[in-house]
Amino acid sequence: MQTSLDKVVRYRAIGTEPFWAVTVHGATVDLERPDHTPFRFSITEDSDDKAIRYTGDGFTLTATEGPCNDGMSDAIWSDRVQIAFRDGTFKGCGGLREDMREYQR
């Protein structure tokens, strides 16, 4: 049964070369890539003062604070992100996007 908390976006991240996007909702994460079937993973959060970590069976997202440029739009994001899953390890950006912060408060 899906609750309203499951629909709330807790975290977003993107990457380029290859393109990918991750959205964390409640206890699940959706991984989307062009020309690939989307993946959904069940996750738990294991964070500390140095990083946010979402881990599950076959998936890990680690986000560390620091400016990150997405390489396409020249937007600056609040976090540097790395995801690891069965197809490899990808790097990108996540958290708050600088030009969207006033809308995310």
- On whether residue 103 sits in a domain, the answer given is no
Q: What are phi and psi for residue 87, nearest 5 degrees? A: -90, 0
Q: Residue 11's domain spans which residues?
A: 4-97
- On whether residue 43 sits in a domain, the answer given is yes
- On whether residue 102 sits in a domain, the answer given is no
Q: What is the pLDDT along the chain (105 residues), one digit of tens a residue?
A: 444 445 678 999 999 989 999 999 999 999 999 999 999 999 999 989 999 999 999 999 999 999 999 877 778 999 999 999 999 999 999 999 887 655 444
- On whether residue 54 sits in a domain, the answer given is yes
How many domains is the chain built from?
A: 1
Whether this prediction's pTM lies above 0.75 is answered by: yes
How far apart CA 12 and CA 97 sit, in angstroms, is 10
Strands (E) across the chain are located at: 9-15, 20-25, 28-32, 39-45, 51-56, 59-69, 76-85, 88-97
Distances (CA, A) of 73 to 16, 68, 70: 11, 12, 7
- On whether residue 104 sits in a domain, the answer given is no
- On whether residue 60 sits in a domain, the answer given is yes
- On whether residue 105 sits in a domain, the answer given is no
